[in-house]
């Protein structure tokens, strides 16, 4: 298991075919204001790749964009809504099709309100991750080893979580409904970017 660090783009042909786990680190939670600093990606075979973007980056990352935009590659996220918006806003790519472990958790683990990645990994996989670096400065010129490990851990377990969550969705008869939610997420992200982030457009009001 190795964490690889890259500047501005992913090297060509470093990922095996098939689904990829994706996550982002930004300067904050307001996508238009808080720039995309790091994108982490993994093919699930034991290595993670971190792509760091400098302040003022043009986000011209052809190899990474090709993977993210590939309609034949499933992208696994935890809270895909945020990551899709950040990727679309800064890189101009719709990084779909999607499987979101947070949505899958909410649709199957209805016995709890704990749907964070740390909770899922602990219950479903029996592993543990540290969230200590979650609010650290991702725009720093040098990222610490702790930051790099944190970023890598956010994609390290997503393939295994999907394998655990799909049978639960099937067992509860909710896989088709979950898939419809996943398919809508790129549109939900675009609505967020367009100004409807805190509005329920389906409500009567």
Instruction: Give residue-wise pLDDT tens across range 139-166.
Output: 999 999 999 999 999 999 999 999 999 9
Residue 202 belongs to some domain of the structure? no
Residue 59 belongs to some domain of the structure? yes
Residue 29 belongs to some domain of the structure? yes
Instruction: Classify 122 as helix, strand or coil.
Output: helix
Any idea what the CATH number is for the domain that residue 13 is in? 3.30.420.10
Domain containing 157 equals 3-196
pLDDT at 110 over 90: yes
Q: What is the mean pLDDT of residues 5-10?
A: 98
H helices present in 109-174, as ranges: 117-120, 145-156, 158-171
pLDDT at 134 over 80: no
Residue 169 belongs to some domain of the structure? yes
Q: Please report the pLDDT score of residue 135 as a whole number.
A: 75
Q: Please report the pLDDT score of residue 131 as a whole number.
A: 74
**CA dihedral sign of residues 138, 120, 128, 153:** negative
Residue 179 belongs to some domain of the structure? yes
Residue 112 belongs to some domain of the structure? yes
Task: Give the confidence band of 130 by pLDDT, cuts at 50, 70, 90.
Answer: confident
Asked if 96 and 71 count as a contact pair (C-beta separation under 8 A), the reply is yes
Average pLDDT in the chain: 96
Cis peptide before 97 (omega within 30 of 0): yes
Task: Give the confidence band of 133 by pLDDT, cuts at 50, 70, 90.
Answer: confident
**Token digits of residue 20:** 């990829």
Residue 10 belongs to some domain of the structure? yes
Is the full-model pTM beyond 0.75?
yes
Q: What is the DSSP string of 11-78?
A: PTT-S-SS-EEEEEEESSS-TTTS-EEEEEEE-SSS-EEEEE--TT-----HHHHHHHH-TTS-EEES
Give the chain's domain count.
1
**Token digits of residue 35:** 């720039």
Q: Which of 40-44, 77-81, 131-135, 169-173 comes out lowest in average pLDDT? A: 131-135
Residue 167 belongs to some domain of the structure? yes
């Amino acid at each position: 298991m190795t964490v690889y660090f890259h500047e501005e783009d992913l090297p060509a042909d470093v990922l095996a075919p098939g689904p990829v786990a994706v996550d982002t680190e930004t300067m904050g939670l307001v996508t238009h204001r808080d720039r995309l600093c790091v994108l982490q990606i993994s093919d699930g075979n034991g290595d993670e790749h971190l792509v760091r973007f400098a302040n003022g980056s043009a986000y011209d990352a052809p190899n990474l964009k090709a993977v993210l935009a590939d309609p034949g590659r499933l992208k696994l996220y935890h809270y895909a809504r945020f990551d899709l918006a950040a990727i679309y806003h800064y890189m101009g790519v719709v990084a779909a099709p999607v499987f979101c472990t947070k949505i899958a958790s909410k649709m199957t683990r209805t016995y709890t309100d704990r749907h964070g990645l740390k909770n899922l990994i602990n219950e479903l996989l029996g592993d543990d991750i540290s969230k200590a670096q979650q609010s650290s400065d991702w725009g720093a010129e040098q990222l610490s080893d702790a930051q790099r490990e944190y970023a890598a851990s956010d994609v390290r377990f997503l393939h295994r979580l999907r394998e655990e969550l799909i049978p639960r969705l099937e067992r509860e008869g909710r896989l088709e409904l979950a898939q419809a939610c996943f398919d809508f997420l790129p549109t939900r992200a675009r609505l967020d970017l367009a100004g409807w982030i805190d509005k329920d457009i389906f409500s009567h009001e």
